[in-house]
Structure 1
Amino acid sequence: MRLRHVLFLTSLAAMAVNAPARAEELTGTLKKVKDSGAITIGYRDSSVPFSYLDGDQKPVGYAYEICRKVADAVKTHLKLDKLEVKLNPVTSATRIPLIANGTIDLECGSTTNNADRQKQASFTNTHFLTATRYLAKKDKKLDKIEDLKGRTVVSTSGTTNIKMINEANTARSLGLTILPAKDHAEAFLMVETGRADAFVMDDVLLASLAASSKTPDAYAISSEALSKPEPYGIMLRKDDAPFKAVVDAATSALYKSPEGKALYEKWFTQPIPPRGINLKLPMSEAMQKQFASPSDSADPAAY
């Protein structure tokens, strides 16, 4: 009897030691999701093609699909039979506060991962790299920065892009006439009507403007960039290493797989809802390298 009693007490002690350890395994967002049975995705309403509303006013987009796949990975990791995916609209002003206060768990959009933002939030592996390039009519046959010598170019006032083209003009002695536009629409119109030879801006924005124009096939985006790549990433709460590890593993596996490339092509090289525009923005060499070796670096030089 005494031996059985000792074994029973030993068993109880082992259970007591192990139970807290198991309870402590889940913290932060993972615990929040497990306890509530839900994960909340923050989406944008007009960040084409990353996260926006379709013709039925439902969220769609490249980054949105990535977030849905991350949610599936979290469900699998937590061994849940079902996981409710809640949707919460965000703006450029509200996205970081809503991540920080726990309202949303993932933010899917076109959010730049930079050093300043990393002080407030974390980012998973980069899903897109933008850069400052220029758009011109194809018949002008402009592709490299040197091709712009002596030309008239336009960029939007108050942007880093117009600063970059001014710096390049001085550094390379391009002899450019640089015109400021009040907004992107006016700048594009100046190229469309021949008042400017090229429009300098983020390449993904240029692609969207061209695709939405009356003659999308009349325009081309330069292969040479004026800036280093700027990484976009899915944002999540800061200092939540267990959740970040799950998200990083999910995005890394996706980007390395054929599914990752197919997802990119779906949103950047094929007609997209609701108007069927095609951005015609094939995966750059930098993006191919990023997908082969996923990184969450905020340093443009890393790409």
Structure 2
Amino acid sequence: MLRTILSAALLFAAALAQASSLESIQRNGTIVIGVRDSSPPFSVLDPQTRALKGYDIEFAQGIAKRLNVKPVFKTLESNDRLPWLKQNKVDIVVAVLSRTPEREKEIDFSVGYFVTDTRILAKKGRFKSDKDLVGAYLAAANASTGAKLLRQSFPKTKLAEFDDVPEMVKALQADIVEGVVDDAPVLAIALNKIPEAQRSRYALSDFALALEIYGVGIPKGEKALQTAINNALLEMEKSGEALAIFNRWFGPNSSAPIQRIFTINPSRN
């Protein structure tokens, strides 16, 4: 009998430890969202206000609004994103998280809310084609798709992993690495932050290494939550809010002007 009671208690505890469902999120009135604080223009901590801001932050706020709950942000590093979801430290992750087949084995994703490509920031003329990658010493963020891309598709490169883009750019300027691999808008921001006297020495590669689709990370099997988030994103597109957010962070007057090559839709983009 005691063994049966203990088994039942363990099963109950395991059930409580499972990822937060849509019902429990709405019952609590809050949604805990994992975000970055050093990935401009997607998410950054404002040094004056100490508030988070950026493309990802506004989408996270839009999702919470449509779920009728309060967003609670928890900052994390790139390599925390999947573990924190699986360990129930956060309800969802909105943190420049690219959708990949490998990640989809561990977590679920929303429809894509941002589409871009992966490029290289380096000295002008260093990387004219992917043939120039052979033997190159490149930097990428820890646990990023850029790092995985280099390992899997460009094994003849040498890789150094860093915690964030500013560290990688410092290594590039110090000639420790030959290039920084990340998504184009992130690198455009980084390039604009290099002092003007040195900026002309650097440029983004003309060729792309891969296409990236960002999605909201959701605990595996939480279909109701996934559907609610997809509906929220689709409503943001339909209302024009998604385009307004894009223009605020990537429009002609932004610090990383790029063309919007996508719309948020029910397909996988």
Distance 1:29 1:271, change over 3 A: farther
Separation in structure 1 between the aligned mates of residue 192 and residue 149 of structure 2, nearest angstrom: 20
Does residue 73 (structure 1) correspond to residue 66 (structure 2)? The answer is: yes
Tell me what 1:170 maps to: none
Q: Is the 8 A contact 2:35 2:93 kept in 1?
A: yes
C-alpha displacement at 1:224, in angstroms? 2.7
- What SS does structure 2 have at the residue aligned with 1:99? helix
Separation in structure 2 between the aligned mates of residue 239 and residue 265 of structure 1, nearest angstrom: 33
Q: Is the 8 A contact 2:169 2:180 kept in 1?
A: no
Distance 1:153 1:266, change over 3 A: farther
Q: Is the 8 A contact 1:154 1:190 kept in 2?
A: no
Separation in structure 2 between the aligned mates of residue 182 and residue 104 of structure 1, nearest angstrom: 25
Find the partner of 2:212 among 222, 230, 239.
Answer: 230
> Which has the larger displacement, 94-103 or 107-116?
94-103
- What SS does structure 2 have at the residue aligned with 1:131? strand
Tell me what 2:31 maps to: 39
Find the partner of 2:195 among 208, 211, 214.
Answer: 214
Distance 1:35 1:221, change over 3 A: same
Separation in structure 2 between the aligned mates of residue 182 and residue 120 of structure 1, nearest angstrom: 23
Distance 1:205 1:69, change over 3 A: closer
Tell me what 1:201 maps to: 181
- What SS does structure 2 have at the residue aligned with 1:244? helix
- What SS does structure 1 have at the residue aligned with 2:112? coil
C-alpha displacement at 1:200, in angstroms? 5.7
Separation in structure 1 between the aligned mates of residue 238 and residue 127 of structure 2, nearest angstrom: 30
Q: CA RMSD in A?
A: 3.8
Separation in structure 1 between the aligned mates of residue 158 and residue 75 of structure 2, nearest angstrom: 36
Aligned length: 235
Letter of the 2:112 counterpart: T
C-alpha displacement at 1:250, in angstroms? 1.3
Distance 1:270 1:40, change over 3 A: farther
Give matches, 1:1-303, under 5 Å.
29-55=21-47, 56-75=49-68, 83-135=69-121, 145=129, 155-156=138-139, 159=147, 184-185=168-169, 188-189=172-173, 199=179, 201-202=181-182, 203-215=184-196, 218=200, 219-225=202-208, 227-269=209-251, 278-280=255-257, 282-283=258-259, 288-289=261-262, 291=263, 293-296=265-268
State the TM-score, normalized to the length of structure 2.
Answer: 0.69
- What SS does structure 2 have at the residue aligned with 1:97? helix
Letter of the 2:85 counterpart: I
Distance 1:292 1:128, change over 3 A: closer
Q: Is the 8 A contact 1:132 1:200 kept in 2?
A: no
Separation in structure 2 between the aligned mates of residue 122 and residue 182 of structure 1, nearest angstrom: 26
Q: Is the 8 A contact 1:162 1:200 kept in 2?
A: no
Q: Is the 8 A contact 2:34 2:81 kept in 1?
A: yes
Separation in structure 2 between the aligned mates of residue 136 and residue 90 of structure 1, nearest angstrom: 27
Separation in structure 1 between the aligned mates of residue 161 and residue 210 of structure 2, nearest angstrom: 25
Distance 1:115 1:270, change over 3 A: same
Q: Which runs of 5+ in 1 are unaligned?
A: 1-26, 76-82, 168-177, 273-277, 297-302
Separation in structure 1 between the aligned mates of residue 110 and residue 77 of structure 2, nearest angstrom: 19
Q: Is the 8 A contact 1:50 1:108 kept in 2?
A: no
Separation in structure 2 between the aligned mates of residue 256 and residue 222 of structure 1, nearest angstrom: 34
C-alpha displacement at 1:241, in angstroms? 1.2
Separation in structure 2 between the aligned mates of residue 294 and residue 48 of structure 1, nearest angstrom: 27
Q: Which runs of 5+ in 2 are unaligned?
A: 1-18, 163-167
Q: Is the 8 A contact 2:233 2:264 kept in 1?
A: no
Separation in structure 1 between the aligned mates of residue 187 and residue 216 of structure 2, nearest angstrom: 22
- What SS does structure 2 have at the residue aligned with 1:42? strand
Distance 1:268 1:101, change over 3 A: same
State the TM-score, normalized to the length of structure 1.
Answer: 0.62
Separation in structure 2 between the aligned mates of residue 180 and residue 107 of structure 1, nearest angstrom: 26
Q: Is the 8 A contact 2:46 2:52 kept in 1?
A: yes
Distance 1:182 1:240, change over 3 A: closer
